[in-house]
Amino acid sequence: MLYIVGLGLGDERDITLRGLEAVKKCGKVYIESYTSLLSFGLSSDGLSTLEKLYGKSITLADREMVEEKADEILSEARRSDVAFLVVGDPFGATTHTDLVVRAKKIGVNVKVIHNASVMNAVGVCGLQLYRYGETVSLPFFTETWRPDSFYEKIQRNRGLGLHTLCLLDIRVKEPTLESLCRGRKQYEPPKYMTINTAIEQLLEVEQMRGESAYSECTQCVGFARVGSEDQMIVAGTMRQLQTINFGTPLHCLVIVGQTHPVEEEMLDFYKLKGESMQQIENVTV
């Protein structure tokens, strides 16, 4: 049996009881490390904290392992119980869907244990989840690659009055271009997109396209470390949020569509007021 277990968003305590029971009875436990990370995953003892709770050794599964050695994982799951741990919810990334499909094709039984995901945790700001349109991903721009395919999706959502969740790029264990040319992989340091960078790139694309899908005056909500004890949520215009230090990763951004009075009432709790607003105005004048 292959158990795909969601871990939630905060720390090791966010696993469900059903998930914990499944992990404890598995002979082998893997944890994905390429689509997201737990808040404690940035610390040196994060993995040992998990291992202490589960009473199991855990194998870190990076993108290369899952894409190139998935057959080994599935082969183990044919003979015994194997757990594959996923930050957030198991189906928050298409890679995990692919793993399920491959398992079912070779007759491996799969059991999925769900958990909280950023896709529903953003509801904390008060914007109603059923009023969201298509989610978009914002990749890091490079000197030679500045994709803007997300622009039409945001434009379409806003045309329908819907909110847009923007998932920000995470670059973990990415090989350098030089090392690929040499045929010997060396990896770039981990890199996590901030809300500030995301807004900068969004405004650059708007300036280039000039179709008024949004502007620096568009209302947004910035989230940092959502689901953790020290989560940070700030509502304001793009221009206002660009001046905020949201701290350590992970970050995501919601571009607000048309709002209901109840949504407005909740959003108001997260809007900058008083001294904070004055400081931003002083910076931007």
The class that CATH gives domain 2-116 is alpha beta
Helices first, then strands: H and E counts in the chain: 12, 12
- Where do the CATH 3.40.1010.10 domains begin and end in the chain? 2-116
Distances in Å between the alpha carbon of 28 and those of 104, 159, 196?
19, 48, 40
Tokens of 90: 């198991």
Domain 119-284, CATH 1.10.10.60 — does that match?
A: no
89 Cβ neighbours under 8 A, 6+ residues apart: 6, 114, 115, 116, 117, 119
Taking only the tens place, the pLDDT of each residue in 211-237 is 999 999 999 999 999 999 999 999 999
Taking only the tens place, the pLDDT of each residue in 53-85 is 888 888 888 777 777 788 899 999 999 999 999
When the pLDDT of each residue in the chain is averaged and rounded to a whole number, the result is 88
Reduced 3-state DSSP string for 46-72: HHHHHHHHHCCCCEEECHHHHHHCHHH
pLDDT score recorded for residue 234: 98
Distance CA 234, CA 256 (A): 12
pLDDT score recorded for residue 40: 43
Cis peptide before 160 (omega within 30 of 0): no
pLDDT score recorded for residue 11: 84
187 strand-pairing partners: 175
| Strand ranges inside the chain, DSSP E | 2-6, 28-32, 59-61, 82-86, 110-113, 136-138, 164-168, 170-171, 191-192, 219-224, 232-237, 251-255
Tokens of 168: 């920000």
Distance CA 224, CA 230 (A): 9
CA–centroid distance for 131 within its chain: 20
- Where do the CATH 3.30.950.10 domains begin and end in the chain? 119-284
What are the 10-residue block averages of pLDDT along the chain, 285 residues in total?
94 92 95 64 60 86 78 94 93 82 94 95 97 97 94 98 96 69 74 96 97 97 94 97 95 97 96 62 46
Report the candidate in 253, 146, 133 with the shortest Cα–Cα distance to residue 193: 253
pTM for the model stands at 0.88
Alpha-helical regions (H) of 146-194: 150-159, 177-182
Distance CA 219, CA 204 (A): 17
Residue entry with tokens 């757990």? 83
Distance CA 87, CA 231 (A): 16
| 238, 222 contact by CB (below 8 A) | no
Reduced 3-state DSSP string for 203-222: HHHHHHHCCCCCCCCCEEEE
| 58, 29 contact by CB (below 8 A) | yes
84 strand-pairing partners: 4, 30
